[in-house]
């Protein structure tokens, strides 16, 4: 994607990163056969903290950037239906991410039993499906619009604010 603005490039990067991570998560979940992985399983040892960080960032800062600064601009530009649709996705994704993050934390600490892992798998597959299709939808519709809507000064100010956290 040929993008001019820092914010649209940042969204693009973060969407690509989360899509790749969700794909690895789905593959690892698919390999679980109703049994928890070994405590020292190298794939899960790497994946669990990565998921925890990325999901937490996604449902807080990434979503907040879109909700607070980008969706209102879509409304102003007559793209309110798209903004409402994406906001509705965020609500559903947060509902799944919240219990999933607790389960991921327990799994990382070795405190998750076999039924807990089965729940993690169910929530994980649901999150991968919902967040994956959401990120793809935004790649197709939101990112190009944001690139077009933001002027250079607004873009710089938002990028600086986003980077400073
Ligand atoms: Fe979003
Ligand atoms: Fe997004």
Q: State the CATH number of the domain containing residue 92.
A: 1.20.120.520
* Number of domains forming the structure of the chain: 1
Tell me whether residue 1 is in a domain: no
Please give the full DSSP string across the chain, using - where no structure is assigned.
----SHHHHHHHHHHHHHHHHHHHHHHHHHH--SSPPPTT-HHHHHHHHHHHHHHHHIIIIIHHIIIIIIHHHHHHTT-HHHHHHHHHHHHHHHHHHHHHHHHHHHHHTT---HHHHHHHHHHHHHHHHHHHHHHHHHHHTHHHHHHHH--HHHHHHHHHHHHH-
Tell me whether residue 22 is in a domain: yes
pLDDT of residue 120: 98
Q: Ligand 1 centroid to 37 CA: how many Å?
A: 31
pLDDT of residue 34: 80
Residues 6 or more apart whose Cβ sits within 8 Å of residue 105: 52
Tell me whether residue 78 is in a domain: yes
pTM above 0.85, yes or no: yes
Tell me whether residue 79 is in a domain: yes
Tell me whether residue 104 is in a domain: yes
pLDDT of residue 161: 97
Q: Ligand 1 centroid to 134 CA: how many Å?
A: 6
Q: Ligand 1 centroid to 86 CA: how many Å?
A: 6
User: Domain range holding 12?
Assistant: 6-164
Structure-block tokens of residue 58: 């996604």
Starting from the CA of residue 14, give the closest ligand: 2
pLDDT of residue 117: 97
Q: Ligand 2 centroid to 57 CA: how many Å?
A: 11
- Per-residue pLDDT of the chain (165 residues), as tens digits, is 799 999 999 999 999 999 999 999 999 999 998 889 998 999 999 999 999 999 999 999 999 999 999 999 999 999 999 999 999 999 999 999 999 999 999 999 999 999 999 999 999 999 999 999 999 999 999 999 999 999 999 999 999 999 997
Structure-block tokens of residue 158: 């938002």
């Amino acid at each position: 994607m040929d993008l001019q603005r820092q914010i649209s490039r940042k969204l693009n990067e973060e969407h690509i990163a989360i899509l790749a991570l969700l794909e690895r998560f789905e593959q690892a979940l698919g390999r679980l056969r109703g049994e928890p992985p070994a405590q020292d399983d190298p794939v899960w040892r790497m994946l669990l903290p990565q998921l925890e960080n990325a999901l937490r960032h996604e449902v807080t800062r990434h979503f907040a950037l879109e909700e607070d600064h980008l969706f209102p601009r879509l409304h102003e530009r007559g793209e309110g239906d798209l903004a409402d649709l994406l906001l509705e996705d965020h609500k559903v994704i947060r509902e799944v991410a919240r219990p999933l993050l607790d389960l991921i934390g327990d799994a990382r600490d070795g405190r998750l039993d076999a039924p807990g892992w089965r729940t993690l798998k169910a929530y994980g597959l649901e999150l991968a499906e919902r967040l994956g299709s959401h990120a793809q939808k935004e790649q197709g519709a939101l990112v190009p619009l944001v690139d077009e809507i933001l002027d250079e000064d607004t873009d710089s100010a938002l990028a600086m604010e986003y980077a400073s956290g």
